A and B are shown apart, each in its own frame.
Chain A
Amino acid sequence: MTATDPDTVLPLDPAIAAARAIEPPRWRRFGRGLRNFVRRSPLSAFWGCIAALIILVAVAAPELAPYPPLKSDFRAMTKPPAAPHYFGTDQIGRDTLSRVIYGSRASLAVAMGAVLFGTTLGALWGLASGYFGGRFDLISQRIIEFLQSFPDLILAMAIAMALGAGFGTVIVAIAITRIPFGGRVIRAVVLSLKEMSYVEAARGLGASHMRMMLRHILPQCIAPYLILATTHLGVAIIIEASLGFLGVGIPPPTPTWGNMLADSLNAGLVPPWWLVLFPGCAITLTVLAFSLLGDGIRDLVDPRLRGAVSVVRGGKSAAI
């Protein structure tokens, strides 16, 4: 324990200073990490590309979509896929391809918003409760357990219904269901980090709580957080689609994949197959891409997390 020796107390931790001196610049480290990722798991890299492509489609929707998503073509109503409308049209003549393309915007925006608020809030909460422990931790754990006593779709439905349908409410509803997951995983990580000798050393050097959390513990939580966020992006997309399908998502004229599937049930006694097939394929592909990317990151960063995150994905963590 040389770090606690008063003679070695320096303004900058010597180990950090040494590490900084030999460390390549950040962007090069990132590039190397990316190359490493592609080499180690080409399949995950492939799915990463698909995920990036989907995000690109969402951003460039107005350029890519052949028709405006809300424009009805009354000469082509409920037409199967054919030349001008490659994915067919719905019962009021809107182009399915354009709507699927625009749908990616709503789905991704909601999912990202929900993960950004929910998982992040949960992660920060988990960081604080794991770090401080004691009564704060105990109360936090109980609150999280209450939140987890609801199946997540049901909680999201109730909140979305209570707040009234809308873009923001859907994000809030899904975000609240994501909080416990972030909280539990990051708390578990923090609990194990707290025992590490470098953290003890920092404490010995007299670092403040804020500095310990942000400077020494938080950086180690980024990898688990990233894994959690990518996996939960997929879950959030499915919840968003389910909410849309049940009529408590983003209100109808806006094209979302869930809304389109719900709409297809109103298109006649037998729903036209193209109205069912394409939005669903879009959901499946997107969720698949993000969860496989998340798996790939996890395997690369820390194979030991395999159990932790995959259990948490289903619901509670394994810490029962």
Chain B
Amino acid sequence: MTGARRNPQSPSMYSYIVRRLVFGGLTVLGVSIVVFAVLRILPGDPLVAIFGAEGFTKLSEAERARYMADLGLSDPLVVQYFHWLGDIVRGDFGRSFFRAESVADMLLRRGPLTAEIALIAVVLSWIVGIPVAIISALRPNSLGDNVSRFFSILFLAIPGFWFGMLIVLACLFWFGYRAPMAGASLFANPWDNLQIVIGPAVVLGLGQAAYIARMARSSLLEVVREDYVRTARAKGLPGRLVISLHALPNALLPVITLSGILIGFVLAGSIPIERAFATPGLGFAMYIAVYERDVFVMQNLVFLYSIIFVMLNILIDVTIAWLDPRIRYR
């Protein structure tokens, strides 16, 4: 670092956070344009997307015009875009074309389940991934290392939703057990809630753990070669302490970054996995929206997922900048 600044860390940290937030805001704006472009402009005619090609041809001219006007689709695209953004800002996420329920209600009802699944999955991925990586990195190319590497590659290759289907099938086949289908909130009915959440969370968590273990292993192996680790060894610290006190904290930085990226993996992965488990969460709602070609619900959910993704990544970036001062000075 040339001319290392030694001023107290708070000002540069603030400016870093502000910079990240401004950039995040711009990203969200860009994302909104992309979402709008993909789901409103690309299909040519949204009615085709809603009714399907055959259904569309059965509609008469007048009906088409009426539907377009009802949905606010006859306005110029720019007007539609700002209408949509305005609705989102006011917290009006619109309603499904096929169901009475508004998207906001759906979020409130289904969102918590998916959030729980995501949270458990992330925690689980760290609990499983990091110890596996440590075992791997302590003795590279040993039996333990090879076994754990094999499993992490295997879990990268197994599609999560298929793994979920197998679990559901095995439970039904051998125990005649099926998780409750109706949504149950954490506070009202914790036992049912756990049964619903645990399957998707484990599948998502193990899938992520594979990424985390791979990343943490290679990062640990790199850090272990550093001088300060050699110094720690030379002064007679036992291997376990060298790893846990000296190597691990530095090796974890890229893993935290990866964890932020994996949030996307959790958000997106939960869609097919929730379908496989028939979990009444937001991912399943997304599947239904896709299945029914419900463009408006889809548009809002995709936007929402992307906002969550961007926000959490800003949080991760700030955390890393807080942990690693070198980043702030860029």
Contacts and interface: CB of A to CB of B under 8 A. Distances in A.
A288 B153 contact: yes
Question: What's the dominant secondary structure at chain A's contact region?
Answer: helix
Interface in B294-310: 295, 298, 302, 305-306, 309-310
A277 interface: yes
Contacts of B261: 314-316
Contact of B287 (A246, A277, A283): A246
Contact of B258 (A238, A277, A311): A311
Interface of A: 142, 145-147, 149-155, 157-159, 161-164, 234, 238, 241-242, 245-248, 261, 264-265, 270-271, 273, 276-277, 279-280, 283-284, 287-288, 291-292, 295, 306-307, 310-311, 314-316, 318, 320
Contact of B309 (A149, A273, A314, A318): A149
Given A276-B162, A291-B157, A246 B272 contact: yes
A164 B56 CA distance: 13
Contact of A151 (B28, B162, B265, B276): B265
A307 B225 CA distance: 15
A248 B157 contact: no
A181 to B, nearest CB: 12
A155 B37 CA distance: 12
Contacts of B258: 311, 314-315
B165 A280 contact: yes
B254 interface: yes
A246 B162 contact: no
Contact of A246 (B30, B267, B271, B317): B271
Nearest to A244: B272
A122 B250 CA distance: 32
A245 B159 CA distance: 11
Contacts of B309: 149-151
A151 B173 contact: no
Nearest to B176: A270
Contacts of A150: 31, 34, 264, 302, 305-306, 309
B211 interface: yes
Contacts of B287: 246-247
Given A150-B34, A151-B265, A154-B267, 8 more contacts: A153-B268, A158-B39, A162-B39, A162-B295, A238-B159, A280-B158, A287-B158, A288-B154
Contacts of A153: 268-269, 271-272
Given A246-B287, A284-B157, A318-B257, A149 B310 contact: yes
A261 B264 contact: no
B237 interface: no
Contact of A245 (B169, B272, B295): B272
B293 A161 contact: yes
Contacts of B271: 153-154, 157, 242, 246
A110 B239 CA distance: 48
B275 A245 contact: yes
Contact of A154 (B166, B302, B310): B302
Contact of B169 (A276, A287, A292, A311): A276
